[in-house]
Amino acid sequence: MYEIKTIGVLTSGGDAPGMNAALRAVTRSAIFNGLAVKAICRGYKGLITDEILDFKTQNVSNIIQHGGTIIKTARCPEFKTPEGRKQAFETMQKHNIDALVVLGGDGTFTGARTFAQEFNVPIVGVPCTIDNDLCGTDKTIGYDTALNTVIECVDKIRDTASSHERLFFVEVMGRDAGFLALNAAIASGAEAAVIPEVAIKEDMLAEVIQNGFRKTKNSSIVLVAESDVTGGANGVAEKVKKDYPQYDVRVVVLGHIQRGGTPSATDRILASRMGAAAVEALLDDQRNLMVGIQNDEIVYVPFSRAIKDDKPINKRLLQVLRTLSI
C-alpha cells in the first residue's frame, strides 16, 4: 500500500461558492488523520510555479461562510502540455507531496486524470461548479447557492417586468448545461426555460409567448441557458423581436454575479461531507476518482465517468414547468 504522509490541495477552474468550505474540510480531515497539508495556490498554475503553503487548522478558520477561494484559482493552459505537467510533478516531489485533492470542475478532473496516469499520483476530486454538469453526482458544490442567487435576481426582475408588462429573457450560466436555467425557472415561477439539452424549436417559442401573455398574465420571464445551441438570451430575443414586434422585449445577462456570495447551508454541508470523504478515500488507497453524492449518500466515481459529457436533464422537470406556467 502506498503510504501517504502529505497531501496537496488546490482549487482550479471557475470558482464556486462552497469551495472554501471544501478546502476547510479537506485540510481539517487530513490533519485529524495525522497527515500534513500543503495548499497549492492558483490551481495547477501554482503547482508549476511552485506557490505552495504549509496549511494548519487555523489557516482555514473563519472561511466556511465565504464565497470564492482563499487560495485563488486559475485556468492554466501550461498544464495541458506534457512539459507543464512534468514541471508540476517536480514541484510535488520537491515538497514531498504524496497525493492531491483537486477542487474544481470537468476541466480540472480531465487534467487530473492525465496527470495521475502519467506520474502514478493518487488524486481525488471534489466537484465544485455552479454548472452541476458532472456525471455520477446528484449535486455539485456551488450549484445550490447559484440557484438561489438566480431566483433572487429573477424575483427582482419580475417586479419591473410586471409593472411595464414586458417580456424578459434572462441569461443564466451553465456552460453547456441547462440545470441552473431549468431549475431556477421552476423555482422563480418563470414562464419557460430554453436549455441546450432540448433543441429549441420555433413552435416552442411560440408556445412560450402565447402562454406568457395570456389575459391572466401581464409579464413573462424566460430563462435562457448560455450556450451556442440556445444562442443565449440575446440570440433568442432577436428572433422573438422579429416575429413578435408587438412585445416590449428586454434582455438581462446575469453573468458572474451567479458565482459569488456566501454559500448556502446546503452547499456548506455538501462541501464539508465531500471534503472529508476525499481524504478518507485517499487513506483507503482509492485514487483517480471524484467524490459524488447520490440519494444523500457519498459515492466515488472514476474521473473517466465524471467527465463524460452526458449528464441527463430530468425531462419531467420541463413538463412541470410547462404545466405550472399556464
- Positions touching ligand F6P (CB under 6 A) are 14, 105, 129-131, 173-175, 226, 259
**Strand, helix or coil for residue 164:** helix
Helix (H) or strand (E) holding 238: helix 232-243
Q: Which residue's CB is nearer to ligand F6P, number 98 or number 133?
A: 133
308 lies in the binding site for ligand ADP (CB under 6 A): no
Site for ligand ADP in 104-143 (CB under 6 A): 104-108, 110-111, 114, 129
Give helix then strand counts, H and E, for the chain: 11, 11
Cell (9 digits) for 290: 471524484
Partner that binds at residue 259, options ligand ADP, ligand F6P, none, CB closer than 5 to 8 Å by kind? ligand F6P
Nearest approach in angstroms of CB 131 to ligand F6P is: 5
**Residue with the shortest CB distance to ligand ADP:** 107
Nearest distance in Å: CB 81, ligand ADP: 8
Q: Which of 62, 29, 21 is nearest to 265 (CA)?
A: 21
Positive or negative CA dihedral for 56, 59, 60, 61? Answer: positive
| Interaction partner, residue 174 (ligand ADP, ligand F6P, none; CB < 5-8 Å by kind) | ligand F6P
Which of ligand ADP, ligand F6P, none does 197 bind, CB closer than 5 to 8 A by kind?
none
| Alpha-carbon separation of residue 41 from 239, 266, 298, 324 (angstroms) | 44, 26, 27, 46
DSSP strand pairing (36-40 vs 52-55): antiparallel
Round to whole Å and give the CA distance between 139 and 142: 9
**Residue 44 binding partner per list ligand ADP, ligand F6P, none, with a CB distance cut-off of 5 to 8 Å that depends on partner kind:** ligand ADP
Tell me, yes or no, if 131 is annotated catalytic: yes
Which of helix, strand or coil describes residue 40?
A: strand
DSSP-derived secondary structure letter, 257: G
Smallest distance, ligand F6P to C-beta of residue 175, A: 4
Query: Measured from the CB atom, is 31 or 70 closer to ligand ADP?
Result: 70
Q: Nearest Cα to 290, choosing from 6, 22, 18? A: 22
Min separation Cβ 54 and ligand F6P, Å? 29
Of 15, 106, 131, 144, which residue is the catalytic one?
Answer: 131
Residue 102 CA: distances (Å) to CA of 95, 175, 179? 17, 20, 23
- List of residues 6+ apart from 159 with CB closer than 8 A: none
Residue 75 or 166: the one with the smaller Cβ distance to ligand ADP is 75
Name the residue nearer to ligand ADP (CB basis): 24 or 85.
85
- Which of the 8 DSSP states describes residue 263? P
Taking the least distance from each CB to ligand ADP, the nearer of 107 and 235 is: 107
69 binds ligand ADP (CB under 6 A): no
Per CB under 6 A, does 235 bind ligand ADP? no
Question: Residue 289 belongs to what H/E stretch?
Answer: strand 289-294
- Is position 174 an interface residue for ligand ADP (rule: CB under 6 A)? no
**Stretch of 47-55, 102-110, 244-252, 286-294 lying at the interface with ligand ADP (CB under 6 A):** 102-110
**What span, in angstroms and rounded, lies between the C-alpha atoms of 201 and 77?**
37
How near is the Cβ of 309 to ligand ADP at its closest, in Å? Answer: 11
Which one of 33, 63, 75, 138 is in contact with ligand ADP (CB under 6 A)? 75
CB 12 within 8 A of CB 104: yes
Q: How many residues bind ligand ADP (CB under 6 A)?
A: 17
Q: Of residues 9-68, which lie at the interface with ligand ADP (CB under 6 A)?
A: 12-14, 44
Q: Which residues are catalytic?
A: 131
